[in-house]
A and B are shown apart, each in its own frame.
Chain A
Amino acid sequence: MHRNWYRLDTAALIFPAIARLDWCNAFRVSATLDEDIDPVLLQQATDSLRRRFPSFFVTLHQGFFWCYLEESDRQVRVREDYAYPLTFMSSRELKQNCMRVLYYRNRIAVEFFHSLTDGRGGCVFLCSLTARYLELKYGIRIPREGMVRDPESPPPPEELEDSFFRNAAATAAGRKEEASFRLHGTKEAEGFKHLTTGVVETAALLDAAHAYGVSVTALLAGVMAKSIMEMQALERQGRRLRPVKITLPVDLRRLYGSETLRNFSLVLNVGADPRYGDYSLEELCRVIWHQIGAGATRQNMAGMIAANVQPQQSILLRLAPAFIKHAVMDLVYRNSGESGGSLNISNLGSVRLPEPMQAHVQRMEFIIGPQRSYPNNCSVLSCGGRTYINMIRNIRESELERRFFSKLVEMGIAVEIESNRRTLSSAVPQEHGRNTAGQSKPGEGGCSEA
């Protein structure tokens, strides 16, 4: 039987190459409803989206020259969530499905291997899935507006395109970045990931950002950079300091008017170098705000896109077997991919849902997994007047979370904290844990009740 297949888009090419035996780049979006989830209806809703989102129901394969995605008849089986988000997707699993649909109590979650799509595309899929589920459950009609797509209609070609090629500049921007300070800690056993969610009122966050004259993303990046700088200063006692940079993914759809549901984002490293002197929180926020303004422009991003697109146009590189390409990409990633940032803050912005749907959706969340070489990451999404700041880590120490959220509280923003702490039976004692600031913190982090 003939099956459609897709080349990986420009950003997606890197993810199979840098995957490891216990790590791959994945993210999750979730919607919490007002009633417990019916898995049978959720399965029906998932199946009904196959026609509308063909590039999501695919499997990952390696050809001789490139990896590719192939449409799959295999059902994406809805299943119950695990003890932590973003459990490892093995290469074996990716050959069966590149996404997961999960439920737990009243929450629907979808986890994507990053080669499929980025946060915005994932959010469109989740909104369409949730809308379909609500239609099946309550027999209501959800308007096809905003992020909700009509499952009956075929996908427009512009949703399946690789928008990078269309928008690359003639000259590539340089990739060189100085290595930034690296967080570290005691690795969790069994791949467990701690998730700490800070829930804040969006209005309070906006007020605080406006008080500094910056955007919410710049404010959060500034607070995070300040927290990391303090930890670096404590750990290194002022010697051998490194720049502290926050990696911010930039959604390119708004810049270039693209409708694609495949990857179309690039990252920008912003921050400051503590070797040049101390920064107050306000100074940091404003520096970062200006860096975002200068970096996230059509022209600058086009140069960065060209840096990713141009190697793909080289005949020599195209003729190289996939395993050689992967080795080269892995080397490039190791040297320049993650080294320029200390942590990611991925802000998906505010999600507006159609009125009949919003009545049933209590909250939405966006979670990115830890990077390959650094243990903490942060993702943000606003919905229904509240902002959900998810901090994930694969180490035991929660020092960064503590400093970050405490700073928000000090700024007058009320923060409610939730976490996925391990149960007594599965908890691992962490008396020997050492946080990045070099302080022993028995009883902190995800295992404190043990």
Chain B
Amino acid sequence: MYCVKCGVRLPEGEESCPLCGTPVWNPEGETPVRAYPDSMPSHYREADLPGALVMTVLCLIAEAVLLTVCLKLYGEQSWGGYAVLGVLLFYIVAVLPRWFRHPKGEIFVPVDHAAAALYVLYVCVRTGGSWFMSFALPVLACSCLLSTAMICLLKYVRRGRLYIFGGFLILLGGFTVLVEFLEHISFGTVMFQWSLYSLSGFVIAGLVLLVTALIPPLRHELEKRFFI
């Protein structure tokens, strides 16, 4: 069986020429055996542009509806600001990374924290509070620092995962103490009611990982027994 246009021979049962698309008018034989299966690779990732576009349009509609309803029905001093900024925060955290094929965690985590800080600042101002500088900002800054450092270490440091996770857990314990300390300064709550428990838990877990990292036979034994 030949293509009348290109003159190349085609496998029996071919419906059209793969080179020029000319249909084969009298296909004979059975459907040719496919040279490749249908399954596409799952790891190929492209930016989710249609999804991002749809989400963007939905967020814009939500913003417009919220603003209109709020201003018309309740006036300027209502809950509209929280809702509008909440949608904006959702957009930055959940939709913005969809525009990129490989969103980088070390960029988006600080961006998300900055957006959260702005939102919390708005809440603080609207409620007439004075806790933003003394509580919310240091807590968010420390959280941002910890999570970004963790992402960067996991991404760029090839070895020493156990050291990284162990150190991170100990720092997380320290972070909970800091939160309670700032809570005490800002809101006058009782010092160290719960954070010492979480600190001890995190420190123990972190130390276990560090010890495991320091003793290779123990690490290999655990790896052998608990690999997923």
Return B146 CB to nearest CB of chain A, in Å.
Answer: 24
A22-B101, A448-B21 are known contacts. Are A417 and B10 too (CB-CB below 8 A)? yes
Q: Which residues of A contact B225 (CB under 8 A)?
A: none
A190-B46, A418-B11, A449-B16 are known contacts. Are A81 and B37 too (CB-CB below 8 A)? yes
Q: Which residues of B contact A336 (CB under 8 A)?
A: none
Give CA–CA (A88, B34) in the complex, Å.
21
Q: Which residues of A contact B3 (CB under 8 A)?
A: 417
Give CA–CA (A260, B154) in the complex, Å.
36
A409-B6, A416-B8 are known contacts. Are A196 and B19 too (CB-CB below 8 A)? yes
A88-B44, A417-B9 are known contacts. Are A444 and B20 too (CB-CB below 8 A)? yes
Are B36 and A84 in touch, CB under 8 angstroms?
Answer: yes
Query: Which A168-213 residues have C-beta < 8 A from chain B?
Result: 190-192, 195-198
Are A416 and B43 in touch, CB under 8 angstroms?
Answer: no
Chain B residue with Cβ nearest A425: B38
Question: How does the 8 Å CB contact mask read for B38-51 relative to A, with 1 for contact and 0 for none?
Answer: 11110110100000
Return B103 CB to nearest CB of chain A, in Å.
Answer: 11
Q: Which residues of A contact B36 (CB under 8 A)?
A: 81-85, 104, 195, 420
B7 at the interface (CB under 8 A from A): yes
In the complex, which of the residues A21, A414, A419, A446 has the most CB atoms of chain B within 10 Å of its own CB atom? A419
8 tightest A-B CB contacts, nearest first: A419-B18, A448-B21, A443-B21, A409-B7, A444-B21, A87-B41, A402-B19, A416-B9
Question: How does the 8 Å CB contact mask read for A89-120 relative to B, with 1 for contact and 0 for none?
Answer: 01001000000000011000000000000000
A-B contact pairs, 8 of them (CB 8 A): A87-B43, A415-B8, A417-B6, A417-B10, A418-B18, A420-B36, A441-B21, A444-B20
Are A80 and B37 in touch, CB under 8 angstroms?
Answer: yes
The B interface is mostly helix, strand or loop, or mixed, namely loop
Give CA–CA (A404, B3) in the complex, Å.
15
A44 at the interface (CB under 8 A from B): no
Give CA–CA (A314, B14) in the complex, Å.
57
B228 at the interface (CB under 8 A from A): no
Chain B residue with Cβ nearest A420: B36
Are B17 and A83 in touch, CB under 8 angstroms?
Answer: no
Give CA–CA (A449, B6) in the complex, Å.
17
Chain A residue with Cβ nearest B6: A406
B73 at the interface (CB under 8 A from A): no
Q: Which residues of B contact A82 (CB under 8 A)?
A: 36-37, 39-41
A355 at the interface (CB under 8 A from B): no
Chain A residues within 8 Å of B, Cβ to Cβ: 1, 21-22, 61-62, 80-85, 87-88, 90, 93, 104-105, 190-192, 195-198, 398, 401-402, 405-406, 409-410, 414-421, 423, 425-426, 441-446, 448-449
Are A190 and B39 in touch, CB under 8 angstroms?
Answer: no
Chain B residue with Cβ nearest A84: B36
B72 at the interface (CB under 8 A from A): no
Pick from A190, A192, A398: contact of B18, CB under 8 Å? A398
Q: Which residues of A contact B8 (CB under 8 A)?
A: 198, 405-406, 409, 415-417
B35 at the interface (CB under 8 A from A): yes
Give CA–CA (A22, B102) in the complex, Å.
10
Pick from B7, B20, B21, B102: contact of A410, CB under 8 Å? B7
B106 at the interface (CB under 8 A from A): no
Are A418 and B20 in touch, CB under 8 angstroms?
Answer: no
Are A190 and B44 in touch, CB under 8 angstroms?
Answer: yes
A415-B9, A420-B35 are known contacts. Are A87 and B44 too (CB-CB below 8 A)? yes
Pick from B10, B15, B43: contact of A93, CB under 8 Å? B43
Q: Which residues of A contact B43 (CB under 8 A)?
A: 87-88, 90, 93
Q: Which residues of B contact A426 (CB under 8 A)?
A: 38, 40
Are A445 and B11 in touch, CB under 8 angstroms?
Answer: no
Give CA–CA (A444, B43) in the complex, Å.
28
New A-B contacts (7) at CB < 8 Å, excluding given A82-B37, A195-B35: A88-B41, A402-B6, A405-B6, A410-B7, A417-B18, A420-B34, A425-B38
B215 at the interface (CB under 8 A from A): no
A190-B46, A409-B6 are known contacts. Are A80 and B39 too (CB-CB below 8 A)? yes
Chain B residue with Cβ nearest A409: B7
Are A448 and B18 in touch, CB under 8 angstroms?
Answer: yes
Return B57 CB to nearest CB of chain A, in Å.
Answer: 22
Q: Which residues of B contact A448 (CB under 8 A)?
A: 16-18, 21
Q: Which residues of A contact B32 (CB under 8 A)?
A: 418
A414-B9, A417-B18 are known contacts. Are A105 and B46 too (CB-CB below 8 A)? no
Return B104 CB to nearest CB of chain A, in Å.
Answer: 11
Return A434 CB to nearest CB of chain B, in Å.
Answer: 15
Give CA–CA (A407, B7) in the complex, Å.
10
Chain B residue with Cβ nearest A441: B21
B107 at the interface (CB under 8 A from A): no
Are A419 and B39 in touch, CB under 8 angstroms?
Answer: no
Q: Which residues of A contact B37 (CB under 8 A)?
A: 80-83, 104
Pick from A105, A425, A444: contact of B33, CB under 8 Å? A105
Q: Which residues of B contact A419 (CB under 8 A)?
A: 18, 35
Q: Which residues of B contact A90 (CB under 8 A)?
A: 43
Give CA–CA (A85, B36) in the complex, Å.
8
Are A21 and B19 in touch, CB under 8 angstroms?
Answer: no
Q: Which residues of A contact B220 (CB under 8 A)?
A: 1
Pick from A84, A93, A197, A445: contact of B21, CB under 8 Å? A445
Return A369 CB to nearest CB of chain B, in Å.
Answer: 13
Q: Which residues of B contact A80 (CB under 8 A)?
A: 37, 39
Chain B residue with Cβ nearest A430: B21
Chain A residue with Cβ nearest B20: A402
Give CA–CA (A186, B34) in the complex, Å.
24
